[in-house]
Amino acid sequence: MRRPKPDDLREWCYPFIYETRLTCNYEILTDELCCHIGVVLAALPEGCDDIRADLEQLQSLIYNLNGSVRGRNGIFEQDIKWLKGRYSHYQQQTEGRVTGFVLPRGPAPVPQLHLCRCTGKKIVRMLVRLEEEGRRFAETLPRFANVLANFFFVLTVAIKARLNVEEVPYISVNY
């Protein structure tokens, strides 16, 4: 049974909060990611003006990603191209710093960016579930979300390089 809209709007945090479909969960995850980026922006060290500009642009793109399942598509090829370009920019700056798995640690905002990365993966998984549920959306959404998760990782490496913080390798006993 779907809950009715409350008479007192202070008791209603989001118009779709009582939906049983996964669309609302997806929207909450993308909103969470945008909030995580706000935390990262507040903790960015000096000398990261390029990262700040990229994250500020990403917040709007993530809200475009948010509305692209329920509404019109807001993620386009040029957005993916831009994000891949920014990924390559930071990857080139940090070439050779990471050669395997590393532990997700370091000074702020590195841990917060790792949370962004994990939330990005959750968004990809939610898109898989939405598709499984029968929801149709543009192919640009999962492509953008995958690049997004990878982008957050390369930002952690770039920030640690700028702060002269070493990566801590993780050696798996499983693989």
Give the residue ranges of DSSP H helices in 16-173: 23-43, 49-67, 77-93, 110-132, 140-162
Using pLDDT thresholds of 50, 70 and 90, give the confidence band for residue 1.
Answer: low
Q: For 140-170, b where at least 16 C-beta lie within 10 A, e where not — what string? A: bbbbbbbbbbbbbbbbbbbbbbeeeeebeee
Give the CATH number of domain 20-162: 1.20.1200.10
User: 103: helix, coil or strand?
Assistant: coil
Q: Give the model confidence (pLDDT) of 68-118 as tens digits.
A: 999 999 999 999 999 999 999 999 999 999 989 999 999 999 999 999 999
Q: What is the mean pLDDT of residues 13-19?
A: 88
Residues whose CB is less than 8 angstroms from the CB of residue 160 and which lie 6 or more positions away in sequence, other chains included? 97, 106, 110, 166, 167
Q: State how far the Cα of 172 lies from the Cα of 107, in Å rounded to an integer.
A: 23
Asked whether the whole model's pTM tops 0.85, one would answer yes
Average pLDDT, the chain: 95
Q: Give the model confidence (pLDDT) of 2-13 as tens digits.
A: 788 888 889 888
Q: Which residue is listed with tokens 């957005």?
A: 79
pLDDT value for 9? 87
Percentage above 70 pLDDT, the chain: 99
